[in-house]
Each structure stands twice: as structure tokens, then as C-alpha cells.
Amino acid sequence: MRHSITTAFILLAGILAAQGPVSLSLQQAMDMAATQSYAVQASQLEAEKAVAKIKEVTAIGLPQINATGSVNNYIKVPTMVIPNFFGDNPKFIEMQFGLPWTMSGAVQLNQLIFDGSYLVGLQATRELRNQSGKQLESAQLDARVQAAKAYLGVLAAEEGVRLLGESLPLVQKAANDANAMVQQGMMGTTDADRLTVQVDETQNQQRSLRQQATVARAYLALVLGLPAGTPITLTDSLQPLLDDAASQDLANVQFDPAKHVEEEAAQSALRLSELDLKNKKSAYLPKLSGFINYQQQFNYTEFKPSDGAFWFPSSMWGLQLNVPIFSSGMRSRQVQQAKLSRDQAQINLKATEQRLLTDRLQQQAVLTAAQESYTTGKASLALSKRIFEQTSTKFGEGMASSFELTQEHGNYLTAQQAYIQRMVDLLKARVDMRRALDLF
């Protein structure tokens, strides 16, 4: 899983520059999918969002500076009625204490001094970065698996076309010879028709496999994040991949679930749940913050802000302490929920470990069976091919009937189809085994 992807970046740069056909080995295809498949691109954006979230949380504990300003104009200055302290006539006096024009501008700095939730949040940001990295790794692993299956699917379909092409000339020759013998009155039309149908059947299967290869190439382009219709040349051959010694020994590879990306992600989720529990408990702690501000205020009967004589400064600093005392059980219920979430994360971790171990055992059994089935199918194909070629030779010498030839060719086609299917099953089982072992 954790291979270097420098090659893929170089390859991607070449593709973007050339805007032409692409030549890829299996490893290059997997590396390209791990860097530019659509799912990986979306996961990379999620990782960038996580980085931005980390910076947002960190900024909460850094100084915050805000500026405010206001302009007010009393169209009619409010009037207040106060007692007449100078006599009883009149008993009350109407007075206006305000001025028509007021303007103010202020700058204030706020600083968080202590907040338990903030301290826990800083720890959580580091774990959040780790979790987003594991999610990206998981997306890259899935992209590699999809690319490998698509790449091998193309090779398997093209191998089927090649195998059918091996027997087609022999059947066509036999059909042509039979038609010639019919024209000379040496063979019945039924025998010739039987061979003609066999040729048509082989050609139909060949066309079907070509279509499958075309669809597989289109899917490969989709997995790689390439535009539809991009010509892709596969530089790896199928047989060396089938004979790869490391792939043949996958069933015996030792497995440690703790190093699998899915269990690492589950471990990260557990650590985040524990941090969430600490965060809920920190709600019982007091919070302390401080501030300092500076303000200028203008007051006058006319709007003349340029006249400095009517601007008056003020400044103040202070501290604010918030001590939680009683919440009617709300905080304790939040702590209880966080504990339950942590317990769920612990269960999920255990379940993930057991699932990975079970997947490994299951894929090991599937791979072993697929390998044995492929070996048997390969031997059966070789035998069917030898019998068909011998029967074809006998038919040309007049020692075998068309019925025998079509029967052996049908057996050969059946063996080819079984071989191709067993080959696909083996390749798929190897990819799934690597996925279970996290070896991409």
C-alpha cells in the first residue's frame, strides 16, 4: 500500500504534456490510479479540508483583533424631565443632555487564556490529520485494486481472443475443404454445414471477447481518471503476471491486522472518541479570557469629524472568568454519551480486527482453490488442443468425420472458455488477497 508514487507523478506529467496515447505497466496503472482517480481526488480534497479545519481550531487560541465604528445623528435630541432643584416653579425642568452628532471607532484585542476544550481540541487536530491520512490511504488502496482488476481484465479478454484465433484457421480450412468436397459430391451438405456453423460460433465468441476487452479498457480509463476514449497500451504481458513467483506465494504470506490501513483507521477513530470524552469532561473546568481595547469618540452639535477638539479617547482592559456550577445534569449526560461512543469505537476496533483475519482466511481459501483450478484448466486446455489438432489432421487425411472434428472443436472451445474463466478467477483472487493483506 505504501509504495512510493513518484513514478506516477512523472507519468502523469508526461500524459498532461503529451495529451496522446498512454503506455502503462500494471504497476504504473496502479500508481496512476492512486494519484488521479476520481475517488482519490475527492479523498485528497477531504484531507485538505482537514488541514484547514486544524488551522481553524488552532486559531481559536490565538489573538483576535476586531475593529468597530459607528455614526449616529439625532434628528431630534431626546428630552429628559428632571426635578427642579432650584425651586418649585416650575416643579420639573425639561433638559437635553445629548448632542446631535456622535461618532465612535474602537479596536479590541481578545485573547483566550485558558479553556480545557481548546487544549483537547489541539490534541484532536493532530489525530484528525492522522485519520484523514488513513482515509486517503484507504481510497488509494481501493483505487489500486480497481486498476489492477481492470488492467488484468483487459489482458484476460485479449488472451481469450488470441486463444480463439489459434483454432479458427484450422476450422475455417476444414470448412472450406468440406464445401469443396460437397461440390465434388464426396460429402453431404450436413457435414459441411456443421463445420460452417462451428466457424460462425468461434467468430461470434471472438467478437464477444473483443467487445469485453473494449469495455474493460474504457473502465480502466475511468479508474485511472483519464478522459473517455484515451488510447491505452498495456506493456505487461499476461503470462509473466500469471507466473510471478511472489503472486503464487501470496497464500503463505504472514499477516498482521494491526498494520492494515482499515485497522489503523479504526484505531484512529478510537483515539478520537477518547479525545471527545476528554472534551466533554473539560466542560466542568472554568474558562478565562482577557481583552484590551482603545476607543475614540466624537460628540458635537455639527458633523465636523476633522475637528480634533471634539474627539475623546478611552481605553480599557479586563478579564472574564466563566465558572460552570450547575447545568441540571446536561454535562454529565454529555459525558455519558461520549463514554458510550468510545465503547462503540472499541467494539468497532475488535470487529475490524476479526473481520480482517476472517477476510484473510477466506481469501486464502479462495486463492488456493483458484490456483488449483487454473492449473487443472490449463492442463485440460492443452489436452483438448492436442486432441483437436490431431482430429483436424485426421479429417484432412479422410480418417475422421466432420462430426468428430466439430465435436473435438466444441470440446476445445469449452476448455478455452473454462480456462479463461479460471484464469480470470485466479487473477481476481490474487488481487483480492493483496487487498486483504494490504500489500498494494
pTM more than 0.85: no
- Tens digit of pLDDT at every position of the chain (440 positions): 444 444 444 444 444 444 468 899 999 999 999 998 998 999 999 889 988 988 998 999 999 999 999 999 988 888 888 888 777 778 888 887 788 899 999 999 999 999 999 999 898 988 988 999 999 999 999 999 999 999 999 999 999 888 888 878 877 877 787 777 777 766 667 777 777 888 888 888 889 889 988 998 999 999 998 988 889 999 999 999 998 888 889 988 999 999 999 999 999 999 999 999 999 999 999 999 999 999 999 988 888 888 877 889 999 999 999 999 998 999 999 999 999 999 999 999 999 999 999 999 999 999 999 999 999 999 999 999 899 889 888 877 778 777 787 888 888 888 988 999 999 999 999 999 999 999 87
Interatomic CA distance for residues 264 and 244, integer angstroms: 30
Nearest to 115 by CA among 49, 48, 57, 61: 61
Residue ranges, CATH 1.20.1600.10, the chain: 6-61+115-285+324-437
Angle 168-391-207 from CA coordinates, rounded to 5°: 15
H-helix or E-strand containing 15?
Answer: helix 6-18
* CB-based contact 182:192 (threshold 8 Å): yes
H-helix or E-strand containing 106?
Answer: strand 101-114
State how beta strands 232-234 and 22-24 pair: parallel
- Eight-state DSSP code of residue 251: G
DSSP assignment string, 379-415: HHHHHHHHHHHHHHHHHHTTSS-HHHHHHHHHHHHHH
Residues in contact with 103: Cβ distance below 8 Å, sequence separation at least 6, in sequence order: 69, 70, 71, 72, 297, 298, 305
Superfamily of chain region 6-61+115-285+324-437: Outer membrane efflux proteins (OEP) (1.20.1600.10)
